[in-house]
Structure 1
Amino acid sequence: MSKETTYEVLSLKGDEWQTDTIYSDRDEAIEAARNLHGDPHIDGAKVISEVYDDKTGGSKETTIFNTTTKIKTKQGQPESKADITPRRRGRPPSDKGKNTGRKDLLVAVKAAFWLLLILIGGLGALYGFEGLNNFLNKF
């Protein structure tokens, strides 16, 4: 009688596709696939639209979002960006290799300074309490 459409979000780990979640809303499924694609442990993500027909008992699957395939362009035309770009999680790319030795040295000096300050403070507190105790015991 009726057709039911579901959207399966699949993730690629190694060489194996695994069903991650199933949605009834297309936009939610694509958003979930984008979020999965941003995960560093996931090699790819895709959304498959599955239309199940109650009348015939059959179903038809169509891939509507896939991060593992490249868009084919006509020869002579430069590649254009896809309309749907996945969002990435984590830190933005930084300039690696620039002044790393200097930055590392600065971090090491700061760490050594704080450790020395804590050590001096601890020793001062220890000997300070002992001196205060001796002073108070005189009375």
Structure 2
Amino acid sequence: MKIESTFEVLLLRDDRWELQEVFASEVEAMHAAHALQQRPNTRGVQIVRDRYDRTTGLSRGTLVFERRKSLLAENAVRSSGAGGS
């Protein structure tokens, strides 16, 4: 049985999770997720471990990390970037 694992970094956009990057290492995926999380327009990030069994052809995804920004934090970022005098 040959099982391969990859780590998918997903970004929350318009209430949908979109795949951003795929990594062989959880550490690399975590670094990418934290970098995406720092962007002001990011609403949320996830890391999903995908385990693929070459023998059976089956794949299984497991959520290993998720962070979402609160609506209050999002509104504060938008307000501070509004360019008031």
Q: What secondary structure is seen at the aligned counterpart in 1 of 2:4? A: strand
C-alpha contact (below 8 Å) 1:11/1:20 kept by paired residues: yes
**Which protein has the larger Cα radius of gyration, Structure 1 or Structure 2?**
1
Alignment partners' CA distance in 1, 2:24 and 2:43: 24
In percent, how many aligned pairs have the same letter? Answer: 33
User: Does residue 1:62 correspond to 2:62, yes or no?
Assistant: yes
Instruction: Please state which structure has a larger fraction of its residues in helix.
Output: 1
Q: Could you tell me which amino acid in structure 2 is paired with residue 57 of structure 1?
A: G
Instruction: Please state which structure has a larger fraction of its residues in strand.
Output: 2
Paired position in structure 2 for 1:42: 42
TM (norm. structure 2) is 0.76
Instruction: Give 1:16 shift.
Output: 1.5
1:1-139 map, 5 Å: 1-68=1-68
Alignment partners' CA distance in 2, 1:34 and 1:55: 34
Q: Note the aligned Cα RMSD (angstroms).
A: 1.7
TM-superposition CA deviations, 1:70-114 (whole Å, max 9, x none): xxxxxxxxxxxxxxxxxxxxxxxxxxxxxxxxxx8xxxxxxxxxx
Instruction: Give 1:68 shift.
Output: 2.7
Q: Could you tell me which amino acid in structure 2 is paired with residue 42 of structure 1?
A: T
Runs of 4+ with >6 A deviation: none
Instruction: Give 1:14 shift.
Output: 2.3
